[in-house]
Amino acid sequence: MALRQALGWSDGEVMRPESKPCSRLMRHTAGIFSVGGALASWVLCRLHYDLRLGVRRLSFTVGHHGAQAAAAATAAAGVEQSPVDSYRPGHRRPCMCSLLGRAHKGGRGRGRDCGGEEQARQNGHAGDGGDPAEWKKVAELRAVVEAQDPAAKEEDDFMLRRFLRARDNSINKASTMFLKYLTWKRAAKPHGSITEAEVRGELVQDKLYVQGFDKTGRPMIYLFGNRHFAAKRDLEEFKRYVIYILDNTCTKLPAGQEKFASVVDLKGWGYANCDIRAKLAALEIMQNYYPERLGRVFLIHVPYVFMAAWKMVYPFIDDNTKKKFVFVADKDLDGTLRDAIDLSQLPEHRRPV
């Protein structure tokens, strides 16, 4: 009921929460697929089982942070648009290997993951939306974590602030989270970053591209759900791919901006694309090691079968994060995207006619 009300779906579009998940999913799946219905139902039950195993690891938190407009922010930061920003239909879009690889080369240095934040750090904390009391807490957090792990000295104040915000300004909780991040970073990125060669199998699938900014100055990521296949992916490479994408997206952030936004196109999405374990892995990475990064996610062309999987995940997403997911009906697609993203920043095939 809460899911149906939150998303504005009718009883015919979203499964009723009061029914048992697997049995309810079996009946609906059998109605959708007359051939292979039993197999599809088994798959959903298996997904539900996998979810129960991994959901305890989830507490996906996303905070709020104001930002400047895209044009002003980009000019202030001196950020150049990559070739993907001038993509037009009829021309082959540059491969993510070259696009993100270019950002990757420019984003390294002392462990910083955002060029715009480094510039803001050099300019001081003024005008970044923080307050003196918050920065005082950041200084206290820095003293705690540097005393326990010297590698903390390589991370800037903005990163510390994100971890602090993710733990409701509790220094004890934030320090525990941050020290775990440093340990994870050494294991996940022993050379400081993920290279193209380590994720080439994912990059060639062309699952996403980065183009433009929304009206709050956040870089936009466009993802295509029907290009991910659970049977073809290697989970460890997929995890590296998530890290690679997040790190290189951050290099596009202008000064004063710490978040990105996304449009997830689910047109053609089916059971072959449903990968609960990969989704949980991505959420764990985002939750534990990239807090306060996600701004808004627009889900478009959402098929009925996706809502069945979403129904199982939704109860475990915290209220703040739920507000970040916007399910867009086809009839509202043009208006919703136009309200959030300036016309000049939209890909031409997404522009209103």
Q: How much is the pLDDT for 152?
A: 97
Q: Which residues pair with 222 in a beta bridge?
A: 209, 263
Which of the two residues, 27 and 283, has the higher pLDDT score? Answer: 283
| The two structure tokens encoding residue 318 | 């915290």
Last residue of a domain, one of 127, 153, 188: 188
Helix (H) or strand (E) holding 262, with range, is: strand 260-265
Q: How far apart are CA 84 and CA 29, in angstroms?
A: 39
On whether both 222 and 250 belong to a single domain, the answer is yes
Q: How much is the pLDDT for 321?
A: 74
Q: How far apart are CA 204 and CA 232, in angstroms?
A: 13
Is 21 inside any structural domain? Answer: no
| Residue-range definition of the domain harbouring residue 141 | 115-188
Q: How much is the pLDDT for 1?
A: 44
On whether both 155 and 224 belong to a single domain, the answer is no
* 50-81 tens-digit pLDDT: 444 444 444 333 333 333 344 444 444 444 44
On whether both 150 and 253 belong to a single domain, the answer is no
Last residue of a domain, one of 188, 213, 233: 188
On whether both 313 and 253 belong to a single domain, the answer is yes
On whether both 257 and 329 belong to a single domain, the answer is yes
Is 96 inside any structural domain? Answer: yes
Q: Is the pLDDT of residue 9 over 50?
A: no
In this structure, what CATH number is given to the domain that contains residue 147?
Answer: 1.10.8
Q: How much is the pLDDT for 118?
A: 53
Q: How much is the pLDDT for 124?
A: 53
On whether both 183 and 253 belong to a single domain, the answer is no
User: Of 245, 234, 236, which Cα lies nearest the Cα of 286?
Assistant: 245
On whether both 123 and 94 belong to a single domain, the answer is no
Q: What is the DSSP string of 90-118?
A: TSPPPPHHHHHHHHHHHS-STT---HHHH
Is 10 inside any structural domain? Answer: no
Strand order in the sheet with 208-213: 208-213, 219-224, 260-265, 294-300, 325-328
Q: How much is the pLDDT for 130?
A: 67
Local confidence band at 114 (pLDDT 50, 70, 90 cut-offs): low
On whether both 158 and 243 belong to a single domain, the answer is no
Q: How far apart are CA 132 and CA 268, in angstroms?
A: 49
Which of the two residues, 157 and 26, has the higher pLDDT score? Answer: 157
Q: How far apart are CA 91 and CA 52, in angstroms?
A: 44
Count: domains in the chain: 2
Query: What pTM value is reported for the model?
Result: 0.67
Q: Dihedral sign, CA of 20, 22, 27, 33?
A: positive
Is 102 inside any structural domain? Answer: yes
Cα distances (Å, whole numbers) of residue 209 to 42, 85, 214, 255, 325: 33, 9, 15, 22, 19
Last residue of a domain, one of 129, 155, 188: 188
Is 48 inside any structural domain? Answer: no
Is 41 inside any structural domain? Answer: no
Residue type at 231 in one-letter notation: A
On whether both 121 and 167 belong to a single domain, the answer is yes
Is 299 inside any structural domain? Answer: yes
On whether both 238 and 330 belong to a single domain, the answer is yes
Local confidence band at 268 (pLDDT 50, 70, 90 cut-offs): very high
Is 91 inside any structural domain? Answer: yes
On whether both 99 and 225 belong to a single domain, the answer is yes
On whether both 270 and 210 belong to a single domain, the answer is yes
Q: How far apart are CA 62 and CA 178, in angstroms?
A: 16
Q: How far apart are CA 99 and CA 83, in angstroms?
A: 7
In this structure, what CATH number is given to the domain that contains residue 293?
Answer: 3.40.525.10
What average pLDDT does range 94-105 have in this prediction? 38
Helix (H) or strand (E) holding 208, with range, is: strand 208-213
Helix (H) or strand (E) holding 146, with range, is: helix 132-148
> Angle 171-188/235-250 helices, nearest 10 degrees?
110
Q: How far apart are CA 163 and CA 165, in angstroms?
A: 5
How does 47-77 read in b/e, with b if 16+ C-beta sit within 10 Å? bbebbeebbeebebbbbebebbebeebbebb
